[in-house]
Structure 1
Amino acid sequence: MDAHTLGLFALAFLVFAASPGPDNVTIVARTLHQGALSGLAYGAGTVSGILVFLFLAAMGLSVLAGE
């Protein structure tokens, strides 16, 4: 991979990593419209869901690695 291609890849990665995802936009919108407590509750639910999916993915990978 030449330096120009690597630079373009790094720039694209930076743009995608810096942009907020739909979860962040929804948390901000809920906070602005319904208050900080509602935004905090939505954020906690989002983090809980991500942790559940992370746990399930780790368990699935451990089963695959064990075979």
Structure 2
Amino acid sequence: MRTIGHFIGGREVKGTSGRFADVFEPMTGEVQAQVALATKAEVRSAVENAKAAQEAWANTNPQ
């Protein structure tokens, strides 16, 4: 079964919690993959990286 991790700081990161949730095909209801559930540290890292990216993006000239 395919496992989906996280995308943090521009790179793929495997989840380390050991916990997963099913990803369903909505038309058939079949499980297509499992997504890794994040730890508090992984969520913190994702938020910190997103904040840093947003600050840099906000200072970008749109032209």
TM range (shorter): 0.3 to 0.5
Greater share of residues in helix? 1
> Rg larger in 1 or in 2?
1
TM-score normalized with structure 2 length = 0.45
Greater share of residues in strand? 2
Q: Which has the higher contact order (CA 8 A, sep 6+)?
A: 2
